[in-house]
Structure 1
Amino acid sequence: MKIAIIGAGVIGCATAWEFLRQGKEVLLLESREGPGLVASYANGGQLSYDYVAPLADPGVFLDLPKWLLNPGSPLRFRPQLDPRQWCWLLAFLKASNTSTAQASTKALLQLSSLSRDTLHTWMAEEPIDFHYKANGKLIAYRSPHLLEKARKQVEYQASQGSNQRILSKEESIALEPALANLGQALVGCVYTSTEEVGDCHLFTRALFERVQAHPRATTRCNSRVARLNIRQGKVVSAQLSNGEQIEADQFVLTNGLQGYDLLKQHGETIQLYGLKGYSLTIPLPAADSATAVAAAPEISVTDYERRIVYARLGDSVRIAAMVDIGDGSAAIRPDRIRHLKEEVSKSFPRLEVERAEAWAGERPATPEGRPIISRSRKLDNLWLNLGHGALGFTLACGSAVLLNALMSQSTVPINALPFRTR
């Protein structure tokens, strides 16, 4: 069975690699000049398996007014005359309740656990060089009431198998001395010892190269799919922008927001919208420098109120932040980067923000925060692996395994219903 996978980001490359491991024939198509150049390029670098709380949370109603009115807020809304935007926002607000958030958290924890086990299996079979490190994660809180709210989330996630601890300010600094830079602002942390980090782009590129070298695989870059050609309820070919027809037995969309456009051409609409984020990549001081350790945390850190994540990747630190709704471009807005640099300098003043390499990109997200991993509602041989939002790197390997099980009609490793097309 020949399967055409459209999109060679981290989701597409992981899907292609799992299919090859299971004996399938794969054609991997990428519209850009290489793999992982869009949402997978410079994301936060966290492999956050045990803390996957969706953005749609009951607390969003309290935070939304201050976020929308503050130009430096972690979330910025740019209203557009676009029904798609408003439909997504209404669905997001509808999902921002306790029962939906807990259901999404449960489903995401199952998928993230599968993803972690899968990644570890792949690395045991053949090591992958992507600045991987199992260094744990600290979610830092500046407000006592938000830390108490986090305690309830930790308790719920513990009931689903997660292992986390609430640390006091003193315990947090003892574990990660760089947090002393936060001074009196820090009240405590949620600590997860099992979390990991890595460079998503390096990981994606390594998987792409493995796929490229496999005898049952073909990879093609600069091959943008313009439309899917349909006959009798099935996709018969993918038509490239140059008019070339690509035939296969099964087709898989892993190309994020472009997947939305391909589906819409044939009357199928899914709730998928781009949430724009920003990142900085800052070189660390030389290893023998007296300031090297204090410049940035060794443990991965999320500054909860600022919605900023910090992850050491090799000899640099990746800093990712912000959600812009309604800014459908990869343009780097100077005001957002300036604000991010200011926040970084306040929290970790020894980081040389003037040397930062800035990046921006859209993260395809569903309102509930759960990706869509299932068959198309309209086309029998079309499958979707879309909408992972900020958790694409974390969930990629597990999503590939789940999709392969669904397509092979074999026993699924986790409950697949939360990820069905909706």
Structure 2
Amino acid sequence: MHICVLGAGITGLAAAYSLQQDGHQVTVVDQASAPGQGASGGNGAQLSYAYVQPLADPAIWGQLPKLLLAADSPLQFRLQADPHQWRWGLQFLAACRRARSERSTAWLLDLAARSRQGFEQMLADLRPDVDHHSPGKLVLLPSAAGLDVAQAQIDLQARLGGPAQRLVSAAESVAIEPALAAYQSQYAGAVYTPSESAADCLKVCQALAQALTQRGAELRYDTPIERLELVGGQVVAAHSAHGPLRADHFVVALGSDTLRLCQPLGLRPPVYPLKGYSLTLDVGAAPDRAPQVSVTDSARKVVFARIGQRLRVAGMVELTGYGRDIPPSRVDTLRRATAEVFPGCPTEGEVRPWSGLRPATPSGLPITGRVRGGPGNLWLNTGHGALGFTLAFGTAAALVQALRT
């Protein structure tokens, strides 16, 4: 079959690659001039297959005053004149229940395991230079109460068959990652997962795009899709300024733009952007003062991941609309976080600031498959939230399987 994938970010390209591997003719279309230019290019670089607690968690209720009122909160919700935002917010709060969160965790763990398998198969197939390594990960926790919550999550994931992880003291975490020594007094302990990985997502997107092209796929850039044409309950074409694109099936992997394209068809997928930011620091001159192990500071909502001779620093979650501007205050926040957690890291030079809109569902579970009441040949692959890089090959495998049935 001929399948047109709309979107050349990591989820669209992983889907296109997997579909091509399954024998389909593939066309990939994107409004950007190159692959990985949306929410993928500057993401946090962590492949978090083990610690997958969804954002929709009962603990969110105690954080609501800070979310709504604190100007410097790493999690921000600013009301817009947008009914979709209000509807998404209410659905998100409804998902912040323990039973729902535990079901989501089980689903995400299974999907992450399949995604790891698919990603590793791709690495073996293409052998791309993407700065991939598996240094493990530490999630720093600020208090004893935080350790208790984390232990409950570890126990839950262990019962569900998730990868091995354990709580470690602050001193033990420094033994694992010596670059944390100066910050040791600022946190109570950490979750340590030895098996976690990191890679440059932009390089992965570029490698997938190159492989797709070399194996016969067509990739069209600078081609924003304006509308989908329906005839007899089927999508017959995706229209752009360059003319119609025809295929047997269409996969929408447009991230936060999914609603824009689907709404004229009467479809309202519950996807809203979680805006985040990142910096990329050159640390080649200070390799012993930058971490090798991936680190997540849960209090700051900031992640640190080594990719080659660079350190990716990413963080914040904002539900503030669709703007991709980068306020200087957010750059300063990430600079300060780096300087405080890893004082030896160079933060005064070029930091290559970036922002991205991570497409999220209220529950944290991606949407992969047909939409109820939608065209039979229209498939969604979106809503991965902050786990897009982690889950991309898992949802790609699910999409391939669904198209076989």
Q: CA deviation at 1:285?
A: 3.8
Contact 1:164 1:192 in 2 (8 A): yes
User: Aligned residue for 2:302?
Assistant: 308
Cα offsets for 1:50-77 (capped at 9, x unmatched) = 0111101000011121233222111112
* Overall identity of the aligned pairs, in %: 40
2:205 maps to amino acid? T
Report whether the alignment pairs 1:380 with 2:400.
no
What corresponds to 2:404 in structure 1? 408
Alignment match, 2:271: 272
Could you say what secondary structure the match of 1:125 adopts?
helix
The residue identity in structure 2 corresponding to 1:353 is T
Alignment of 1:356-375 (within 5 A): 356-375=351-370
State the secondary structure of the residue aligned to 2:173: helix
Matched residue of 1:57: which SS? Answer: coil
> How many angstroms apart in 1 are the aligned matches of 2:398 and 2:32?
26
Corresponding residue SS for 1:370: coil
Offset from partner CA, 1:142-167 (integer Å, 9 cap, x none) = 21101111000000001111211110
Asked if structure 2 preserves the Cα contact closer than 8 Å seen for 1:72 and 1:336, the reply is no
Aligned to 1:236: 236
Distance 1:245 1:27 in 2: 13
Correspondence 1:293-332 to 2 at 5 A = 293=288, 295-332=289-326
1:211 and 1:168, CA in 2 relative to 1: closer, same or farther beyond 3 A?
A: same
Alpha-carbon displacement from aligned partner over 1:96-118 (angstroms, at most 9, x marks no partner):
01011111111010000000011
Q: Does 1:390 align with 2:390?
A: no
The alignment partner of 1:275 has SS state of strand
Match of 1:348 in 2: 342
TM-score (structure 2 length as normaliser): 0.97
In 2, Cα distance between equivalents of 1:67 and 1:95? 17
Instruction: Identify the residue that residue 11 of structure 2 maps to in structure 1.
Output: 11
Counterpart AA for 2:181? A
Q: How many residues are matched?
A: 402
Q: What residue in structure 2 maps to residue 414 of structure 1?
A: none
> Is residue 366–residue 389 contact of structure 1 (8 Å, CA) maintained in 2?
yes
Distance 1:192 1:150 in 2: 12
190-199 vs 178-187, greater mean Cα deviation:
178-187
Q: In 1, are the aligned partners of 2:4 and 2:247 still within 8 Å (CA)?
A: yes
Contact 2:19 2:26 in 1 (8 A): yes
SS in 1 for 2:227: strand
C-alpha deviations, 1:187-241, integer Å up to 9, x for none? Answer: 11100011000000100110011101113x1111111110000011000111113
Question: Any idea what SS the aligned residue of 1:354 has?
Answer: coil
TM superposition shift of 1:19: 0.8
> How far is 1:345 from its partner?
1.2
- The TM-score normalised by the length of structure 1 is 0.93
Which range moved further: 274-283 or 174-183? 174-183
Structure 1 residue 43 displacement after superposition? 0.3
Whole-Å Cα distance in 2 between the matches of residues 306 and 143 of structure 1? Answer: 13
Q: SS at 1:292's partner residue?
A: coil
DSSP-derived class of the 2:207 partner: helix
Give the conservation status (yes or no) of the 8 Å contact 1:329–1:361.
Answer: no
Spell out, residue by residue over 1:238-257, the C-alpha distance to the aligned partner (whole angstroms, 9 max, x if none): 11134x01111111001112
Aligned counterpart, 1:181: 182
| Aligned equivalents of 2:78, 2:328: Cα separation in 1 | 16
Q: Which runs of 5+ in 2 are unaligned?
A: none
The answer to whether the 8 A contact 1:18-1:400 is kept is: yes
Partner deviation per Cα, 1:339-367 (whole Å, 9 max, x = no partner): 22122211111212122111111101000
Q: Aligned partners of 1:125 and 1:221: how far apart in 2?
A: 25
Partner of 2:147: 147
RMSD: 1.0
Aligned equivalents of 1:180 and 1:6: distance in 2?
46
Counterpart contact for 1:47–1:195, Cα < 8 Å:
yes
Tell me the secondary structure at the aligned position of residue 166 of structure 1.
strand
CA shift at 1:327, angstroms?
Answer: 3.5
Residue in 2 aligned with 1:69?
Answer: 69
- The Cα offsets for residues 353-411 of structure 1, whole Å up to 9 and x where unpaired, read as 122111111101000000000112210100010110110000011111110000111xx
Checking the alignment, whether the CA contact within 8 Å between 2:258 and 2:271 is kept in structure 1 is no
> For residues 129-183 of structure 1, what are the alpha-carbon distances to aligned partners after superposition, in whole Å with 9 as ceiling and x for unaligned?
1100011000011211011110000000011112111101221111111111213
Runs of 4+ in 1 over 4 A off after TM superposition: none
C-alpha distance in 2 between matches for 1:73 and 1:93: 18
1:262 equivalenced with 2:261 (yes/no): yes
Alpha-carbon distance in structure 2 between the residues aligned to 1:11 and 1:292: 32
